[in-house]
Structure formats: structure tokens, C-alpha cells
Amino acid sequence: MTDLLTAQNLFLSRARAGGPAVDVLRGLSLSVRSGETVALIGASGTGKTTLAHVLAGLLRPSAGQVTYKGADVQALSQKQHRPLRCELQMIFQDPYSSLDPRQSVEAVLREALLFHPLSEAEKQGRIRATLHDMALPEDVLSRRAHEFSGGQRQRIAIARALVGQPALIIADEAVSALDVSVQARVLNTLLMQQQRTGLSLVFISHDMAVVRHMAHRVIVLDQGQVVEEGPAEQIFTAPRSDTARMLLQHSREKELS
Ligand SMILES: Nc1ncnc2c1ncn2[C@@H]1O[C@H](COP(=O)(O)OP(=O)(O)OP(=O)(O)O)[C@@H](O)[C@H]1O
């Protein structure tokens, strides 16, 4: 497996309203290989969402660099990099702000296929198959995002990320708003797409059972730094960091309650 995405020595300070700047990312490096799922875990407020935005090129780090297939992700929105941009998708934590409420679902999905050299029939086929995978009926296509519940919106956002068969998806709490049965279906769709196309995933979740089901490798974050990294099985059976031990303990307590 070759490195698809690399982050080197990322720093990011963010100013809080009325307060001092906070160092959210503090010298963080990671890599994601082709066909691999890397889970980012850590306590709340530890910088996972911020890191996801930096990895996707949506936030500029104060120092350090993120490269996707060797190109700086910050440059991916420039015209000459648009096809590469389509290969890297993000699913945001909040489906209310990530979808334009006035756009029809069909427009959302077609936009995701804009730079794909597919025939009209192929586009329609992809859209139909993706809706089916997300357990969404075809009549959603003519409706607008604001007409849907949070869980349905999240499935539309996931469909948008998947329909173009990207090389990499950064998924930030992508399935936490979904019912358990729908969640299983969506996770299996991601795993099947990974088998079929070699999809890579950066997967952020508080749900340790989901992380264990999905991840090949786990990166444990604490206050903007990597405190442990290793194969998923190793992190779950023999965690070395206090943070990983605390997260697993917390998860066990939740299961028992
Ligand atoms: N827009 C912002 N402006 C200033 N500070 C921010 C902003 N967004 C996040 N932060 C701060 O950055 C830190 C990391 O937040 P972030 O959302 O990345 O953590 P997280 O690990 O994803 O948390 P959670 O698991 O709760 O989603 C927090 O201290 C947060 O208060």
C-alpha cells in the first residue's frame, strides 16, 4: 500500500472570542495509505474535527503541510487540480450546515459527478445505486435537503461523498446520527466500496465498537498531538496510552449501563 495522504508536523492555533489563542494542533504528523481505514480517536475537544478540516484542505494550518498524492491539499481547489479534488471527499459532522437546503438531492448528487467522465446513463446508474445503498427511495431526488430529517440528511451527505467513487473519504462522526440498522447498512456500504475500489477512509468516531469494526489502524489524539498509533487490534487489546485506556474504559462502562 502506498501513502495517499500525508500530514507533516501540523500546528494550528485558533483564537477564541474574548480569550487567548488555543493551540489546537501541536506538531501532528500522520499518513493514510491506499485502501486503508485510519480511525482518529480522542476525547471531546482534542482536535479531531479541526484535523479533519485541515486534512481536507478546508482549514490552513499555522505550520506544516498536508499532501494528497504529492500535491498540497490547499491547492486542490484550483482549476487544474479539480479532478484530484473530486477524489477527496469529506462527510461533515453536522448535516444541517453541510448541505445547501435549497438544492434538490438530484442537484447535490449531480454536482458531485460534475468532473467525472461518465455518460448520462452511467451517472443515472451511479445515482440510483448510491441511493439504494443509503436506503433512500428514488423519489428523494426531486426534493430539497431542508425537507429531510437529520438522519436522512446525513445519508444524503454520505451519498454525495460516495457517488463519485472517491479515492479518499474523511468521515467526521458520519454515522453517529443514524439508527443502528441504517448505521450498519452505511458502514457495510463503505466496506464494500473499499473492497471494490480501494477506497481509503479517515474515520472519526466516539463509538469504539464502530471504530473496531471499521479501522485497520488507529491514531489516538490528545490535546492536538498523537499519543499512540497502531493496528486497531493492538490498540483495542493492549492500549499503551492513558488516553486510549480511558476511552476504552469509558466505552465498556457505557455498554454495561
Ligand atoms: N472555530 C473555532 N474557533 C476557535 N476555536 C475552535 C473553533 N473550533 C474548534 N475550536 C477549539 O478547538 C479545539 C478542538 O476542537 P475540535 O472540534 O477540533 O475537537 P474534537 O476532538 O473534534 O471534539 P468533538 O469530539 O467534541 O467533536 C477545542 O478547544 C475547540 O474549542
- Per-residue b/e over 23-49, b at no fewer than 16 CB within 10 Å? ebbbebebbbbebbbbbbbbbeebbbb
**pLDDT at residue 1, as a whole number:** 58
Q: Is residue 3 within 8 Å of residue 31, measured between CB atoms?
A: yes
Distance CA(209)–CA(128), nearest Å, equals 30
- Residues 61-83: pLDDT tens digits? 999 999 999 889 888 777 767 77
- Atom 23 of ligand 1: nearest residue by CA position: 45
Confirm or reject: Cβ of 183 under 6 Å from ligand 1: no
Ligand 1 pocket check for 46: Cβ under 6 Å: yes
Atom of ligand 1 nearest to the CA of 15: 4
State mean pLDDT over 137-152. Answer: 91
Longest dimension (CA), the chain: 55
Residue 20 has pLDDT above 90, yes or no: no
Mean pLDDT for the chain?
Answer: 92
- Ligand 1 geometric centre to CA of 45 (Å): 5
Average pLDDT for 30-34: 97
**How is the beta sheet containing 37-41 ordered, strand by strand?**
88-91, 168-172, 200-204, 37-41, 217-222, 225-231
Mean pLDDT throughout 117-133? 94
Mean pLDDT of 170-182: 92
pLDDT at 198: 95
How much is the average pLDDT of 196-221?
A: 96
- Is ligand 1 within 6 A of the CB of residue 20? no
Q: Is the ipTM of this complex over 0.85?
A: yes
Predicted pLDDT at 16: 76
pLDDT over 90, % of the chain:
75
Ligand 1 atom index nearest CA of 52: 18
pLDDT of the residue at 52:
97
Of 130-134, 146-150, 168-172, minimum mean pLDDT range: 146-150
Dig out the grid coordinates for 87 from the structure: 477524489
Ligand 1 pocket check for 48: Cβ under 6 Å: yes
Instruction: Record the pTM.
Output: 0.94
| pLDDT, tens digit, 9 for 90 and up, residues 243-252 | 999 999 999 8
Kindly give the number of the ligand 1 atom that is closest to the alpha carbon of 173: 27
47 lines ligand 1 (CB under 6 A): yes
Map out the domains of the chain with their CATH numbers.
3-95+169-250 (3.40.50.300)
Specify the pairing of strand 200-204 against strand 37-41: parallel
Comparing C-alpha atoms, which of 74, 65, 1, 50 is closest to residue 224? 50
pLDDT per position as a tens digit, 80-118: 677 777 899 999 988 778 788 889 999 999 999 988 888
3-class state of residue 14 by DSSP: strand
Cα 160 from Cα 192, distance rounded (Å): 17
